[in-house]
Chains A and B, each alone.
Chain A
Amino acid sequence: TQLLEQSPQFLSIQEGENLTVYCNSSSVFSSLQWYRQEPGEGPVLLVTVVTGGEVKKLKRLTFQFGDARKDSSLHITAAQPGDTGLYLCAGEGAGNMLTFGGGTRLMVKP
């Protein structure tokens, strides 16, 4: 069974601050996705990373896939209240199965 540890579980910051969310595993993933979920809605895909060492940017969000494809990070620069939500990482392993991290609940206060 593949496990994906996500940290921190909760994060409450002021508008304008930077933050980083981490996902770590001892397993290798063929790809890793980051999703954002708002209350009462399904997760919305933010990015997919496939190559070890890959870095992708989405406006103020920077995603990195570890060289060994076992870990990933999401960095948000100058967080805004609209960034508030549940962030989920999910690694794709054997059989195309997704292993989800436990989620990071982010609250950005104005």
Chain B
Amino acid sequence: GAVVSQHPSWVICKSGTSVKIECRSLDFQATTMFWYRQFPKQSLMLMATSNEGSKATYEQGVEKDKFLINHASLTLSTLTVTSAHPEDSSFYICSARESIPQYFGPGTRLLVL
């Protein structure tokens, strides 16, 4: 199957700092990328959808000024958690698709102290 990478896999930061997470499709061009958040022992919660060159579409309840998404190319999307707080600690997973199905990255675990 197609490969999606995420970097970093782990990040620990102090409250108030910003954290950038990269998502790359390694062997295909991702026309659409998705960002999910997953709480322990729960399913995935979609945060936003981004198409290359367009502004991201955020799900209800997700602050677009806090979770900045950039989809600059067909192989790269970034999620920046601005002014992170402990409640932002979570497992963030990106996925990418050219057509069906979606392929997921390995996830980034964020811990905000």
Residues of B within 8 A of A88 (CB): 43-44
Residue A33 is within 8 A (CB to CB) of chain B in the complex: yes
- Interface residue count for A (Cβ, 8 Å)? 23
Q: Mark B1-18, 1 if CB is under 8 A from A, else 0.
A: 100101000000000000
CA distance A45 to B1 in the complex (A): 8
Majority-rule SS of B interface residues: strand
Instruction: Please provide the chain A residues from 25 to 82 with a CB less than 8 Å away from any CB of chain B in the complex.
Output: 30-31, 33, 35, 40-45, 48, 50
Residue B25 is within 8 A (CB to CB) of chain A in the complex: no
The reply to whether A42 and B104 contact each other, CB–CB distance below 8 Å, is yes
Residues of A within 8 A of B54 (CB): none
Using CB atoms, name the residue of chain B closest to A50: B100
Contact of A96 among B32, B91, B109 (CB under 8 A): B32
Using CB atoms, name the residue of chain B closest to A105: B41
Residues of B within 8 A of A92 (CB): 100-101
Residues of A within 8 A of B105 (CB): 42
Using CB atoms, name the residue of chain A closest to B31: A96
Residues of B within 8 A of A97 (CB): 46, 49
Using CB atoms, name the residue of chain B closest to A35: B104
CA distance A50 to B99 in the complex (A): 13
The reply to whether A103 and B43 contact each other, CB–CB distance below 8 Å, is yes
The reply to whether A33 and B106 contact each other, CB–CB distance below 8 Å, is no
Residues of B within 8 A of A48 (CB): 100-101
| 3 closest Cβ pairs, A-B complex | A42-B104, A103-B43, A48-B101
Chain A residues within CB distance 8 Å of chain B = 30-31, 33, 35, 40-45, 48, 50, 88, 90, 92, 96-98, 100-103, 105
Chain B residues within CB distance 8 Å of chain A = 1, 4, 6, 32, 34, 41-44, 46, 49, 91, 93, 95, 97, 100-107, 109
